[in-house]
Homo-oligomer: A and B are copies of this chain.
Amino acid sequence: MYCRITAAPIDAAELVQRVRANEDGAVLLFMGVVRNHHAGRAVVGLTYDAYKEMATEKLEGICEDVSSQFEVGDIAVVHRVGELAIGEVSVAIAVAAPHRDAAYKASRQLIERLKREVPIWKRERYANGGEAWQEGVTPQAPETD
């Protein structure tokens, strides 16, 4: 298991090598990439902020949950912070598994939970010069005790 928040460009090939083992018949690599549009506006780049320590711990917890739920081998998740240009990888999730069904299900659940739970934020930089924090998802607090 390998979870990181990093300001350095993400080396996806390295993540794939990191997770693959000889028991695994499937490796799935998801990459979130900065795209040139959002909600109908032309975007020239994104700036990511994170609560780095908590985000790393949250990612580790999510990886543990997902590992216990699906028959997967190893998982690696890396999320980038700082200023990213169009086409740069903002997040990469590599999952290795003996069989592909578990790899697909685990990968999907990892990215969905990352987007709902992990304290990371993105600021859009628009072609017209403006900037704005993208609206996000309010993470759920635990039940009141």
Contact = CB atoms under 8 A, between A and B. Distances in A.
Contacts of A127: none
Contacts of A32: 25-26, 100
A119 interface: no
A86 B20 CA distance: 11
B13 A35 contact: no
Q: Is the interface of A mostly helix, strand, loop or mixed?
A: mixed
A134 B111 CA distance: 34
B26 A31 contact: yes
Which 7 pairs across A and B sit closest by C-beta, in order of nearness?
A25-B35, A29-B29, A22-B36, A27-B31, A22-B86, A13-B13, A28-B30
13 contacts: A12-B13, A12-B29, A16-B31, A22-B86, A23-B37, A24-B33, A25-B33, A26-B32, A27-B33, A29-B31, A30-B100, A32-B100, A104-B107
